[in-house]
Structure 1
Amino acid sequence: MRNSSPNTKEFKTFSEQLALLQDRGMTIPDLAAAEAFLCRVNYYRLSGYWHPMRRFDSERRVVLDSFQDGASFGIVTELYDFDEKLRNAIFSSLAPVEMAIRTMLGHELGRINPTIHLCPDLLGAQATQRSGEEGNTRYDLWIQKYRTQIRRSKEDFVSHHNEKYDGKLPIWAAVEVMDWGMLSHLYAMSPNITQNRIANSCGLSSPQLQSWLKSLNILRNYSAHHARVFNRVYDIKPKLNRKDDPNPNVLLTTFEDAKNRVFGQLSMIQYLHLKLELSPAVQLPALLATYPDNRFVPFSRLGAPSNWQTTPLWQSASSSQNGSF
């Protein structure tokens, strides 16, 4: 028996969902294939991919429940499949970036004190900043998460330190139990000398790297939770060149106008792979070249300029194997 509550949408089977899309003007040449697709990808997840195909009433400024001419389920599945490949590529491409930041942070903080992460007085000014209504410092909130991670960890090295060193992991070991968000906050709380050494390795300033870590953490979370990433406006804009910078980094100008689009996010990954020599950085360019271009969501919607493949940052991917970064 179907739920007939006036406050809840009526349940529809997969075939009824497809019929609704057809009634609204979407072309579905192969109903069996479309139903099989809906069986594994939720209707409401897919709605974000067909949303640009809906008609728009310019007078009332509202999106209508009908589709533009040419809207097809095939375009929807192509966009979804591309986005799925993009999420996987982002996740795998961010892994070595995270590993590099983790290693550098543990090493540089260890120079100062092996247990600096347990001594807020040795950290930077941001550690004592108040956060939230309860008046906790940024460090207070961070150390709570750290202790939770330690309790939950099943790693052998954590058990070893619990037994032999009263659970006090040195920072170069402690970073291994921290997720990206914790690493990002620890970097922001680090002494200036530590921040600068790591940022210099990345060819960035400390404020730039802080903003990049925040931006990439959000992108990583979207990818990990299977959210749409290809056609999205990102809230946090990474810091690039200053407008008054007399010697701007030409590689960063590549995505100056796409900071809050996916091309800008991907460009940060591309840059760090090349700068830190993590890989030849050919995975993302190869994937972008397979984008299923269409008039509803053209490739330009990703934020990429028309000449993106010949811009210094992306063109360098093909030559980086020869060390010509």
Structure 2
Amino acid sequence: MADEVKAFRSYEEQVDLLAGRGIDVGDRKRAADVLRRVNYYRLSGYWYPFRQQIGGGRVDDFYPGTRLDDVVALYEFDARLRAATFSVLAPVELAIRSLLGHELGRVDPCAHLDPDLLGSPARQGDAYRRWRDGYKLELNRSREDFVAHHRAKYGGVLPVWAAVEVLDWGGLARLYGFAPRDVQESISARCGLRGPQLASWLKSLNLTRNVCAHHGRLFNRVHTLTPKLPKVGVHPDLDGATTAWNRTFAQLTLIQFLLNRLGLGRSNLLPAVVRSYPTIAAVPLSHLGAAEDWQTASQLWAS
């Protein structure tokens, strides 16, 4: 089996390999220390833009002038960006939990357990059944005191305003999608959106949150889901924020918008991190999806 995989290389040999391919590694001991802290293959995602492009693909050799320090600066920026994004998503998630639990509770304390009390998507196909199975699994795993209380006093049946607290973001987004349309509209109106728009934002931001939670590369990601947007003119601060809604800066803009409309504060954290983007000619800020005038193009980013 060992003959079928790449040969093992020490940290010092990895430094030699990079230097041989054209990276200015600087101080070799410090470069080896970097590779002790950050796996070679994790860093490879950050030096990919520096690899020479010939024909339709990238080769192993780097463009002249490529420095390991620039690669590390991108990696460290991305780590700050992930941490900040995960942090500011938390109050958004908590607000949606509270709103969804409250509005579904108006319908029935156990609306989440009865598809006949939910919207039509809960009665089509087996998506609701899969959601219900996932909910039961999370409920059985939970060690929260409020869950133990309901097990002891109510046979483990949680009202929806408590049930939302055991759901992860994905489960929460799916329950919102199952909610009756008037419930969706009541919640989305608090966010300045229509029901289907907020549903798409929750799905999109769930993927972004997962990237952050699993230490994925965020800054130059091209996102697979494009959020549904209000018509131009409804929210001028959203209209001018970005033109590339499948890039990371667009995902950050969605968060800035929700923080603003839900009155959650902390709207200065993401702008501060974006301003810390390293100055690297080969990988400009446009790789994030932000324009040069990002700080003035929208009030969402003014801080």
Q: TM-score range by the shorter chain?
A: over 0.9
Alignment partner, residue 58 of structure 2: 63
Partner Cα separation in structure 1 for residue 243 and residue 272 of structure 2: 22
Q: Residue in 2 aligned with 1:308?
A: 294
Quote the Cα distance in structure 2 between the aligned partners of 1:208 and 1:144: 26
Match of 1:258 in 2: 244
- The answer (yes or no) to whether the contact 2:241–2:300 under 8 Å persists in 1 is no
Matching of residue 191 in structure 1 with residue 188 in structure 2: no
Higher relative contact order (CA 8 A, sep 6+): 2
| Gapped regions of structure 1 (runs ≥ 5) | 131-136, 319-325
Counterpart in 2 of 1:24?
Answer: 21
User: How far did 1:168 drift?
Assistant: 0.8
Q: Percent identity?
A: 48
Residue 40 in 1 paired to residue 29 in 2?
no
Does 1:98 find its partner at 2:84? no
CA distance in 2 between partners of 1:84 and 1:306 (Å): 22
Superposition TM-score, scaled by structure 1 size: 0.91
Runs of 4+ in 1 over 4 A off after TM superposition: none
Match 1:285 to one of 271, 281, 302: 271
- Number of residues of Structure 1 aligned to a counterpart in Structure 2: 303
Consecutive unaligned residues of structure 2, counting only runs of 5 or more, are none
1:166-196 deviation digits (Å, cap 9, x = unpaired): 1111100111111000000000000001000
Q: What amino acid is aligned across from residue 297 of structure 1 in structure 2?
A: V
- Structure 2: how far apart are the matches of 1:296 and 1:315? 25
What is aligned with 2:49?
52
Equivalent AA in structure 2 for residue 224 of structure 1: A
Is 2:26 the counterpart of 1:8? no
1:168 counterpart = 2:157: yes
Matches within 5 A, 1:84-163: 84-130=79-125, 137-163=126-152
Q: Take 2:161 and 2:134, find their aligned partners in 1: how far apart are those partners?
A: 17
Q: Is the 8 A contact 2:52 2:61 kept in 1?
A: yes
The equivalent residue for 1:81 is 76
The equivalent residue for 1:321 is none
Task: Give 2:193's aligned amino acid.
Answer: L
SS in structure 2 opposite 1:148? helix
Query: RMSD across aligned C-alpha pairs, in angstroms?
Result: 1.2
1:184–1:213 CA contact under 8 A, matched in 2: yes
